[in-house]
Amino acid sequence: MALKDEIAASGVAKLEAGSGGLEKIVIDAPAARGEMYLHGAHVTSFTPRGQKPVIFLSKDSLYQPDKPIRGGVPICFPWFGPKADDRAAPMHGVARISPWKFESIERVGDGARAVLSLVPNEVSRKYWPHEFAARFIVTFGATLEMSLLVQNTGRSHFTYQEALHSYLTVGDVRKITLTGLERTKYLDKVIKETKVEGDAPIRITGETDRVYLGTTASCVVDDPGLRRELSVEKSGSNVTVVWNPWIDRSKALADFGDQEWPGMLCVETANTADFAIQLAPGESHTIRAIVRVD
């Protein structure tokens, strides 16, 4: 059966040509609508029925086989940010610029569950010569549930970093508050200092790039502009990253609209820095994030 027919047979999805000619899976289930590109296994849209869109996607995003999509939920793997020992390597790893293999899609209750997989390819072996098998499982329903399972299929230990880099749509980032990270140690990458968050809810007042360490807590974005709360629950993760480029950084990003920064906030489920994952041969690890609208 052709891939297009296999996906259509689920009754809740179809395969279409997306931007730049890249293939995408369009989800249309009773509980939610959504989109997911095979390029990067990249979730680019999620809207529960009766709600406003939850996931932000830049209008200036590039849709090219060797470039990541800007917005949505990029998968960062097997490193986060620049590669420590090779600044020429792709930012945030190779998963988000690799073609993933479609495994399955099925209706689950009133939602839909898609599974995509990734194994080593030419680019990954060039920068990270380890054997692995990754599976990304996404459920589009009343909530957006994402799980990334990584297994060491080789004969030696390896260490990797990862993130489900969720871009959330907000009414105005200057008016939201973020809770769940109180009294948590974090690295402020803008001013390159380590701090401890206070007791008050976080407010975004400028360029923000913070790596909160040693936290398994859920985060809640209180958004008065869209009159809703967005929560990001997680498991298998000990790091949360909070990012907004603000004015100057937005203008410096070729694939991000100069005026888009007020409408988004990244709350990322991650394992980085001292919390990188170590796997012995045959071992596996799963990181999970659930985005909920209240």
Query: Which residue numbers are catalytic?
Result: 165, 268
62 backbone dihedrals φ, ψ, rounded to 5°: -90, 140
Strands 239-244, 193-196: parallel, antiparallel or unpaired by DSSP? unpaired
Q: How far is CA 92 from the centre of its chain?
A: 11
Of 213, 209, 185, 205, the closest CA to residue 197 belongs to 185
For residue 55, the cross-strand partners are 168
DSSP letters spanning 9-28: TTSSEEEEE-GGG-EEEEEE
User: Whose CA is closest to 74, among 37, 103, 101?
Assistant: 37
In eight-state DSSP terms, residue 9 is T
- Residue of 98, 96, 136, 134 whose CA lies nearest to 118: 134
3-class secondary-structure state, position 178: strand
